[in-house]
Amino acid sequence: MNEASQIPLPVAPGFRLDGKRALVAGASSGIGLACAAALAQAGAHTVVAARSADRLAALVAALRAAGQSAEAMTLDVADVSASEAAIEAAGPFDVLVNSAGLARHGPATETTEADFDAVSALNFKGAYFLTRAVARGLLAAGRPGSLINVSSQMAHVGGIDRAVYAATKHAVEGFTKSMAIEWGKAGIRVNTVCPTFIRTALTQSTFDQPERRAWIEEKIKLGRVGEVEDIMGAVQFLASDASALVTGTALMIDGGWTAD
């Protein structure tokens, strides 16, 4: 027998999520919708959550028409008590992707207290308690899981007119690391993905400003803005066994922005 044929070869873990239940918050549009599609395409039963019942119904219909398994959950992440009750009733979830977020950009000298509170309530407080709620369900069931918060490159750098937004995303990175340490022995992994500027309906107004578009394209070393498809593979990776030893970290999807 050929000696080489006796060498045991390792088998790469796949990105498949068959048999897993996933929750995607902020799934009604943009990055959240793409994350929901990514998890469903990988075989997860995907619960899509957001405030808009009509948009969720349309998304569920589209996923099912593509042969995937999905259902809707009307959810306002900023309403902590209601979110916790809904997750407790519907869980446990093996995978969480929290894409719910809010941005109110402007000069720091003009930040209103109302804007500060609204952005913080969703991006920081809501994200914190949503992650905790899903983790509680896994801990009670004695199951491992993968919890993914959609952060931002602005969690690692500053940005023009983005003091409040960047502050909330820095906070997400902090609690993600701490939760990863706390729940690691239970097999619960907690990570973030940190996109650069991604082309969506919500970001189009920024791309429509020539000076801002030039600033963005100069910062992104790959020379192009991001598309929602750029997020999908990263989310599949972190949700799956392919990233079984990855926790407490940030996966940069920034085209090299933060490499400086």
Q: Which of 15, 93, 165, 183 is catalytic?
A: 165
C-alpha distances out from residue 34 to 116, 149, 233, Å: 28, 14, 10
C-alpha distances out from residue 248 to 10, 136, 147, 169, 244, Å: 26, 18, 10, 15, 12
Q: Are 230 and 259 in contact (CB under 8 A)?
A: no
Peptide bond into 92 cis (omega under 30): yes
Question: Residue 74 pairs with which residues in a beta bridge?
Answer: 50
Q: Are 73 and 49 in contact (CB under 8 A)?
A: yes
* Diameter of the chain measured on Cα atoms: 76
Q: By C-alpha distance, which of 115, 249, 112, 232 is closest to 178?
A: 249
CA torsion through residues 139, 140, 146, 150, sign: negative
Separation of alpha carbons 144 and 137, rounded Å? 10
Q: Is 137 exposed, middle or buried (0-12, 13-18, 19+ CB in 10 A)?
A: buried
Q: Is 128 a catalytic residue?
A: no
Q: Just list the catalytic residues.
A: 165
